[in-house]
Amino acid sequence: MQHIASLNASGILAVNMSWGKLPRGGDVANGNSLLSLGLDYLAQQHDALFVMSKGNASSPGELLPKDSYNGLVLGSTGST
């Protein structure tokens, strides 16, 4: 993520990510997980937009980094 964000000078303005990580240990989906803080830092330092979805897994629980403050987090719904 850091390498791609650092390419902003080459015209990379947004990074699209579609994945999620279940919190472990002290991780809480409140913006303070190491992954979310890292994404926020990279977005600010490299003026890049990280676009992320909640993830494709149907696992219960809150997935990270959907709690990023400096990113664009997408969600969707579907009928079952």
pLDDT tens digit string along 16-46?
877 666 667 767 777 787 888 888 888 888 8
Cα separation, 38 vs 53, whole angstroms = 17
**Tokens 């472990």 belong to residue:** 24
Predicted TM-score (pTM) of this structure: 0.67
Above 60 in pLDDT, residue 49?
Answer: yes
Strand order in the sheet with 14-17: 14-17, 49-53, 72-74
H or E element, residue 46:
helix 34-46
DSSP 21: B
